[in-house]
Every structure is written in structure tokens, then in C-alpha cells.
Structure 1
């Protein structure tokens, strides 16, 4: 139902076009008079009495229809609306790159216990507030390095907070301009034409203001979060020199103004982040600040198009509109579907591939294999092989994997699944002989034992997996029906293949390979490797230190002049 109180126009400026309606009506009437051949030969006051004009009534009717169509077109363009609909929102928010000063000055104790401890706590607070917004992290001293590129998962950035320290930087110093340039490069590489850059530092040089102004012109706003106090503190630099460092408030404010951003001194509460506008920019789409953006007014102007098109039919030819209306009424109405005639071969193949994937998820493997058949794509042949393997057609599955490998040699999944199906075919028990009940039951029992013994190789410490069809504790069928025995054997084999396909995963170095016997020497080597891996320390700081050192050396080699 239409709510009259909510009815409004989304583009009301189109109503100005209605002012042209009287002019168009005058032109229509003048055009009709110009086509009267007796108008110049007969006096105007005698013309209505001497000439019968039945066509004038028809002309007036046509003019009224044209005027009505014009009004409907203008109202449709004005965008009438009376209801709201859900509008998908971007989950990211404003992208942000945080550049942290990791020079020796961050070890100053004017913010007890140190500036560095406050930096880590503030970054944790910021990442928690921007849990759904893209965020990246840059560390800089004399040069700037990427700690984490822009990502929507702030938890990945938080992994490196405890590793942030001056000793991970290859050289000491403070080049804030390089940090801004690195942040701009990260935003551009991620495809963001606009974004936020926040610097955590206690001082800035003149070159940093120039870099901030350049970033602002490119669409990236630069804000500053000041570290330290006005009193400052003494700090020992990496070269053993003792320096007095303090918060250079005026220099940081000038830097923020040059970058078209904001400045705030670091605080223990989120007030500084709120003052910089970082909490609002990183709010999730479901928060109160952006709840109104979740619904938009629906443009209902398309409802006026059918009557407008109906009026346009009468302008084609006499009585053509009536005939077309009767024809449309007589047609059977059904749900409109896109005809496959308008699809390219690759589009039709892609739709069949999607339909096959859906059938595979439902467990209809025969239907999935039929849909995949005929699609000349490596993925389609690979999926067909999986569907055939699930259905127990192992030879056809091997052929499908071979087709996939012809189109894409080295396809790891196809090679692994082909190997698993081949191994399952070797374990498949042969058909039982038809020479009596006891003989059939004995043959089936021996085959099952052989298959189970082969499955258990290389995994002797694990209990053997059992199933209703292949368990040794189940009583063996004594009917001697070969078909029933073969059906049970096939069912057990299909279950083993499905288990192999579902549980297959890449083997890590040192793990025993399923299906392969492990010698005592190999077992001892595997245990030694696992113990060695457990002794390897999980040190993100060491990772950053090595990464920054190698990147710094590469930059130095690129900038050194060739002899």
C-alpha cells in the first residue's frame, strides 16, 4: 500500500518542464491549422460554417493524449517515491595508514614508562575501534618500511604491535617525509583515491610539511598524534649520544595544517582519536553514526512507464494501438527468463559449471557429472572427475582427471585426486566367485581383510577406521548372492574414496605419508624434525628486523651510482 504521507519526488526540478506544456499545446494547434487548405481562401468567420471538420475533434483527442503522455514522462523523470528499501553499504570505511616513529627518541621516558609503550597501547586502541575499516601500518626512522599493508582484518596488524621497537630499524634517525610518501604509496597501490594518514611522532622537519602538502593535493589527508611532553626527557641515541627530546607542538601543528588534517597530543583515553576523527571513520556499518545510510528511497517512476508506452502505441498507426493491446492481453503470462539464444558459448558453459557445482554440493553427483560433461575447461574436467569418483565410476574419473591435466599440466589437485582414486581402485576387492554360499562369504572376507591391511599401512598407531560395510566385526553375508556382495564392496570402496578426497590436505615436511610404511629411521628423523621446529622461536620482531635490513640494503644498492 502507498503511504500518502510518504509520497514525495526525488528529483522535483523536473517539474519545471511542465511550464513548457502550454507552449507545446499552442504549437500543436497552430500546426493543425496550417494543414487546412481552405484557410487562406475563406474568411475566418465563415470557415466553421462552410467546412465540416470532423478531423478537428480527432486532432484534439490526439493532442490530449500527447499532453497526457508528456505529463506522465515528466512525473516519471521527477522520481516519485513512497517507500524505503535496504541499500548495501561498504564494509570498509575510510582507509587509514598509521606511520609510527621508531627512532631512538621513542625510548624517552617523558611519557612513563616510555613513549613506545604508549604508542603500542594507542595502536591497540585504534585497531580495536577500526575493526572493520581498512588499515595499514608503516614504521620509520631514517627510512620508512611497510609493517602491514592495507587490510580489513585489523587483528593481523595487531600481531606486530609488541615487535615495534627502535632496534628493528636498520638505521636510526627521523625522516617523516619518507613515511608520508610510503603511506601514500600504500593507499595508491590498494586502489584508494582518498584516505587518511596518521603520524605518531614527537617532532617533524620542514621536508615533512612539503610531503604532507603533496599528499593532501593527491587526496590523502595527513593528521598528527603528538608524542611526549613540553618538558621532555633525556634519551640515549643509537650512536651513544645523549639528547634532550620534547614534544614540538608548533612543528606538528604546522605539519597537520599542511596536510589538511588535524593535530592532537597523545592521551590515555580515546579522546585524541575522537578529536582526529578516526573513531567515526572506522565505525562499522551497523553503528548509530551510519544507520541512516542503510535505507534509501526507492524510485517508483518506472510504474508510469507502462501507461506512457500504451499511449505511445496510438501514435504509430490508426487502430494499431488497440490491436497491440488485444494481442498483449491474449498472450500467456509467465515468469520472464533470459533465453539461452542471447548467450555466448563461454557464458553458457559458465552457467552449466555453476549448476554443476550446485548439484555437487547437494550430493547429486550423477547430475553434476552430466552438467560438467562437454565443458572444455580444466576446472570442469577436474570437477567431473570428483563427481564420478563420488559415484564410484573410478575409471571414468581417471579419464576426467587426465583431460584436466592435458589442459592444465601440473594441476596439483587433479594429480593428488587421481593418485587417491588409483590407490582406491587397487584396494577394491575383486568380484566374489559364484560357487556356493560358504565360498562366496570367504572370498569377501579375505578381500576386506586385504583392503583393511593396505589401508592401515604407515598408520599403525592409529586404530583402523571401520564402516558398516567393511568392519571385521560385522557378520559376513552367508547368502552367497554375488551381486549383494559386490554392492557392499562397492559401497565400502566409495566411502573410502570419499574419505580420501575430503580429508586430503598438503603434507607438511616431516609428517608420515598415509598409505606408506614408515621405517624406524624415518620415524626417528620425523620426531627429531618436530622437536627442532618446536624450538624455533616465534619472533615477529626478528622477522621485521630481517625484512627491513634486506629492504634497506636493496634500496642502498639501487641509489648507489655505478662506477
Structure 2
């Protein structure tokens, strides 16, 4: 109590001047009350006190209540304070979308050993410099595709660096305008009002400059990192022709000017990234504390005076006693309710967002059962998508596929859910390899899932922020674009993402594939024997094959070889399917 009075003060003391109006208001009320009494105009003043029945105590009580209510209101507006509380310094990291030119020109060797290898190394250093800040990767040739949506986990992007090459692109070309437009879309879908787009290329045209201008008008700065040398070098295009690729610095400077960003030529160190201002994540201050304590601020305790003020206001109603009693009883109930996690003032969408945030936090910490519990019951596409990711991480593939199906029913065409469902569905159909250990109780087997995001993207992300995590099998991890994660951190949650798990042992995987082929050959041999009326001896190898059996076996082996088992193959298949879908839809 001794420390209370020295610390007590008003945050807005100018409101105390309103107390000076209290005598004037009292005089006005008294004059008005006398005028409202019609008997004063018809009865002599010395007889009036003996004829009127005054309110007595009731009138005086009303006057006192009005005065007290006025004083409480003024004191509440003045902001009484006697203690400090921690004041968080809210800061948001500026997102970055890297747009990489993967046309056949990227293979030119004017940056030894090649432009592509230099770009991979540059991307690795950029990801290290921006650890913990939102980053996305978009590649383009004739069209643009998302490799990784916006994610705080650089490991999700680093997984694909060695797989970046012109071979994964469905059609060759150099449409930088489509890459910039796609990056703008990822940032917009992730609800970022500001952000950076960094283009890796050797030349640009007018269409790219117009796309950069549109991105700048949206709030995103477009910078350019020039890849190559002015002398250039020969390269082989996808159709086998030989071309010459040289750095066109003037067109790239025009592109950066149109996008409101900077231009720098690629160097062997980080000076180019520093010149572009992307070597470290930029911070945008959303709110800060200017109090002497730095991280503390005086708390406005005036809201406590609103409780008795509202109780006094109820006295002006004829049947207000019951309401006053209910209000008094509510006070001891409100705190336990909030302590129990019940917030009576939250809207339904706010409660859903809080659950998504809780699930995203548990997901990032690896507590997938807790993430499943938080996402369960959220009847939105984002909620079911994130539930599928959490179930896939627990190797509950059937339940994960069902969750993805529910997300697709709520939002048809959801790219992240489609990609993750296909990957998880393939993982659950694959036979367990000999290297697989004993699964956890209740797991359905198969490889550990790896996540994005985010949107991450786009992503991106709804991301928290459509910020989204991709569920992908350990044998065939993939990251898809949402829009973002938002793959995204769990959508609207911001997520942020967990790095994919390590790939299984190649030797063990090869042994598993060989065992699977042998089982398929034995099954085909048994089916062929049943058709011809011949049943091979049990446990004996099939020595002779019919033409039909040999044809079926070769078809199965060819199909098994076509199944992608590496990130590069997955990206190539994903981009091809996306390109075919866009062509069909006329995009």
C-alpha cells in the first residue's frame, strides 16, 4: 500500500477539469426541477411546503447517484494508473519472394562452372541470411510455378535447391512477367501489404517491366539480380538448338526501376545481396513503447470504474435491481471463465483463428496429437487441410486423406490439399520397407511425413496469415503452393513450418522395391497359371513365362520406374500437371 500512492497518477489528467462543471450541472438540475412543478404558479409560496408531498429521501438518493456516476465517469476518462505492465514491441518481418529464371539460358557456363550452380549457391547463402523470415521460391520459364510458398523455415526451400534445373519445367521460355505476377499473387494471398520480390535472370522485356510496375502499385518492391556476364556464353536450348546468352544489364535496370527496387550483378560473395538490401530480413515496426521503462507501460485502470458506473446507471430503470444483482454476481464468475479458456467476447471467426494459431504452434513444436486436437472440429478448408497435415505426420494416412477430401469439398481446387492428398495417398499404398521400424501404436505404417505455409505461400498463406505446412511422405516429400502458406503454415495460422525429415536409406529402399517387384511377379505368375489351368508349385519360382505374363511384368516394371522417388521428379510432375490444367482452363 505504501508503494501505491507514490505510483498513483492519471494518464489523461486533463479530463479532471470536467469536475468543475459539477456545481453548474447541479444548479441547472435544481432550476429545472423547480420549473417542472406546476403548483408553484397557483399556490402561494408560504403554503406550498405544507401542500406538496416531496420525494424526500428518494429524490436525494437520485441526486447523489447522479453526482457519483458523473464523478466516476470523469475519473475513468482521466485514466487512473498505479502499476506498469510489459509492453510488447510488435515487429513484422518483411517477406521476400525469390523469382528464378529456369529457362535453358540458365545453363550457360559464363559463370563457371555454370550459371545454375552459381545460382544454387547464391540461394543457399540468401536463405542462411534470412533465417526465420518469410521466404518463398517461384521458378519460371514459359510459365511460373511455386516451388515453396511463403515459409519461415528455410529448410523447406533448401530441400529443393539441388533439384532446380530447366529439365523440371514443362515448357521452355523466358516469361519474367509471369514470374513477377505469380510472386505478387503469393504475397497478396498471404495478406502482406508490403514485401520484396527478387528476380534472378539475365534479361527482361517490356512485359516484365509492366508486371513489375503493377507489383509496385500493389505495395511490393521488385529488385533484380543479374545472372551472367556481358560477354555471355553458348547454351543448348530444350529443342537442341545452340544459342548465346549474355547479361543485358540495361533491361534489368529498367525492370528494377519500374518495380521500385534495386539492381545488382551477381558476385561470388554477398556484396550483391547486401546492395539489394535482402541479405538480412527487414523489419517493419507495427507498434512500440515510448515509456522510460522501454519494455513497460503504465496500465490504464479506468475500466474498473465502469463497473460501479453501470450499476448506478441501472438505478434509473424501474426494475433494475435484478440487473444490478446479476452484474454483481458476474464479476467473480468472469475471471474463472477466462482462466478456463472461455472468452465470452470472441466472435466465432476469432475463436477459430485462435485454435488455428494454437494448432500451428503445436505443429511446429512436433506435438502432432495436440495439433490434431486443435484442428479437429474446425469446419473450414484451412482447418481440415491442417488437420490432414497433423494426421499425416502421425502416419495416420487414411484419416489424413479423409481430412484432405473434406477440405476439397469445402474449397474445390485447393492446390495444397490436392498435392498433399496425392502424396499421402501414394505413401499409404506403398508396402513397408524392411528398414521400417516398429511403428507407434495406432499408426498405419509408412514413412514419416514431412511438412509448409505459410502459405508456407503462398504463399503466403493464410495465412495465421494463409502461413501452411505441406504433408508429404518421407519417401517422396513435396511442397505445394496455397495461397500460400498460406504449402502453408497451417492456413490462417501462421504458420510457420517444420523441416522435412531425412530421406530413407537408399540401399534399404532399393531392397524394398526389389522385394515388391518380386511379389508382383509371383502374383502375376499365379494369375497366369489360373487362366491356363496350371498352378505353379507353392514357394517355387516361375521358370517360364508366357508372352502375356512377360508383357504384364514389363509393364509393371516400367510403371514402377516412372514413379517419382525424389524431389526433382516430384516437382517436374507437379509442374507438368499444373501446366496441363492451366492449358485446359485457358489460363
Structure 2 CA distance for partners of 1:104 and 1:534, relative to 1, 3 Å = closer
User: How far off is 1:151 after superposition?
Assistant: 3.3
Report what 1:544 is aligned to: 571
Once the two structures are superposed, residues 332-369 of structure 1 have per-residue CA deviations (whole angstroms, 9 ceiling, x without a partner) of 97897669xxx9xxx9xxxxxxxxxxxxxxxxxxxxxx
Structure 2 CA distance for partners of 1:313 and 1:332, relative to 1, 3 Å = closer
Report what 1:493 is aligned to: none
CA distance in 1, matches of 2:217, 2:48: 74
Describe how 1:521-536 pairs up with structure 2 within 5 A.
521=539
Moved more, 127-136 or 35-44: 35-44
TM-score (norm 1): 0.51
Contact kept, 8 Å, 1:202 with 1:227, in 2: the verdict is: yes
Report what 1:32 is aligned to: 33
SS of corresponding position for 2:161: coil
Find 2:445's aligned residue among 493, 506, 520: 506
Report what 1:127 is aligned to: 127
Describe how 1:150-549 pairs up with structure 2 within 5 A.
150-190=150-190, 195-219=195-219, 221-228=220-227, 231-238=230-237, 240-243=241-244, 245-248=246-249, 250-267=250-267, 268-269=269-270, 272-273=273-274, 275-276=276-277, 279-281=280-282, 298-312=299-313, 315=316, 502=441, 504-506=443-445, 521=539, 539-549=566-576
Higher relative CO (Cα under 8 Å, sequence separation at least 6) belongs to 2
Once the two structures are superposed, residues 176-207 of structure 1 have per-residue CA deviations (whole angstroms, 9 ceiling, x without a partner) of 11102222333455565654432222322111
5+ long unaligned stretches in structure 2? 287-292, 339-343, 349-375, 378-396, 401-433, 448-511, 517-536, 543-555
CA distance in 2, matches of 1:277, 1:322: 63
User: How far off is 1:283 after superposition?
Assistant: 10
CA distance in 2, matches of 1:29, 1:335: 40
Which of these two proteins has the greater Rg computed from alpha carbons? 1
SS of corresponding position for 2:441: helix
* RMSD over aligned Cα atoms: 5.8
Contact kept, 8 Å, 1:201 with 1:224, in 2: the verdict is: no
CA distance in 1, matches of 2:134, 2:569: 26
Contact kept, 8 Å, 1:168 with 1:542, in 2: the verdict is: yes
Report what 1:435 is aligned to: none
Contact kept, 8 Å, 1:208 with 1:255, in 2: the verdict is: yes
CA distance in 2, matches of 1:246, 1:554: 33
Structure 2 CA distance for partners of 1:222 and 1:242, relative to 1, 3 Å = same
Structure 2 CA distance for partners of 1:54 and 1:539, relative to 1, 3 Å = closer
CA distance in 2, matches of 1:335, 1:558: 54
CA distance in 2, matches of 1:537, 1:411: 21
User: How far off is 1:241 after superposition?
Assistant: 3.6
Contact kept, 8 Å, 2:137 with 2:148, in 1: the verdict is: yes
Structure 2 CA distance for partners of 1:214 and 1:538, relative to 1, 3 Å = same
Structure 2 CA distance for partners of 1:105 and 1:332, relative to 1, 3 Å = closer
Once the two structures are superposed, residues 149-191 of structure 1 have per-residue CA deviations (whole angstroms, 9 ceiling, x without a partner) of 3334321111111122233333333211110222233345556
SS of corresponding position for 2:304: helix
Moved more, 255-264 or 56-65: 56-65
User: How far off is 1:146 after superposition?
Assistant: 1.9
Is 2:101 aligned against 1:101?
A: yes
Report what 2:415 is aligned to: none
Contact kept, 8 Å, 1:132 with 1:284, in 2: the verdict is: no
CA distance in 2, matches of 1:136, 1:22: 66
User: How far off is 1:313 after superposition?
Assistant: 5.5
User: How far off is 1:107 after superposition?
Assistant: 3.7
CA distance in 1, matches of 2:18, 2:251: 57
Structure 2 CA distance for partners of 1:72 and 1:158, relative to 1, 3 Å = same
The structure carrying a bigger helix percent of its residues is 1
Structure 2 CA distance for partners of 1:202 and 1:6, relative to 1, 3 Å = farther
Report what 1:480 is aligned to: none
Aligned residues: 385
Report what 1:397 is aligned to: none
Structure 2 CA distance for partners of 1:21 and 1:241, relative to 1, 3 Å = farther
CA distance in 2, matches of 1:83, 1:539: 56
User: How far off is 1:520 after superposition?
Assistant: 9.8
5+ long unaligned stretches in structure 1? 286-291, 348-376, 379-409, 414-460, 462-498, 513-518
User: How far off is 1:314 after superposition?
Assistant: 5.2
User: How far off is 1:297 after superposition?
Assistant: 6.1
Contact kept, 8 Å, 2:200 with 2:227, in 1: the verdict is: no
TM-score (norm 2): 0.49
Report what 1:418 is aligned to: none
Contact kept, 8 Å, 1:98 with 1:199, in 2: the verdict is: yes
CA distance in 2, matches of 1:124, 1:3: 58
Report what 1:434 is aligned to: none
